Amino acid sequence: GGGPYMKEQGEMMGYANCPGAVVYEKRGEKIFRRARTGFGPGDLYSPMWHLLALAGLSESEWTPQFHYWRRPAVMEDGGANLKD
């Protein structure tokens, strides 16, 4: 699945569907691929810093959050499918 987009984004390191990371950057009204890398033996992507570096961010520009998502007081769908 995914058509030409997935073929362009996922083919690297000799594999048709290589796991990895892709970083995009918006400039004006256009979106550009800034960087991409495949995951494999010996890669550096267990530490978060290398992934942030792909996006052009340094350690001083990113602070981990204790909560990335908080449940709103009222869910649009009533919260029927939320699992606590």
Instruction: Tell me the pLDDT tens digit for each residue of 22-56.
Output: 899 999 999 999 988 888 766 777 677 788 888 89
Does residue 47 sit within a domain? yes
Does residue 69 sit within a domain? no
**Residue 26 lies in domain:** 3-61
**How far is Cα of residue 47 from the mean position of the Cα atoms in its chain?**
14
Structural domain total, the chain: 1
Instruction: Tell me the pLDDT tens digit for each residue of 48-84.
Output: 778 888 889 887 887 777 777 777 888 888 877 777 6
Does residue 42 sit within a domain? yes
Does residue 82 sit within a domain? no
Does residue 83 sit within a domain? no
Taking the model in full, what pTM does it have?
Answer: 0.49
pLDDT at 12 over 80: no
If one counts every other C-beta atom within 10 angstroms of the C-beta of residue 34, the result is 14
Does residue 26 sit within a domain? yes
Smallest CA-to-CA distance from 69 within 60, 78, 82 is with 82
Q: How far apart are CA 13 and CA 10, in angstroms?
A: 10
| Beta strand ranges found along the chain (DSSP E) | 20-27, 30-38
What residues form DSSP beta bridges with 35? 23
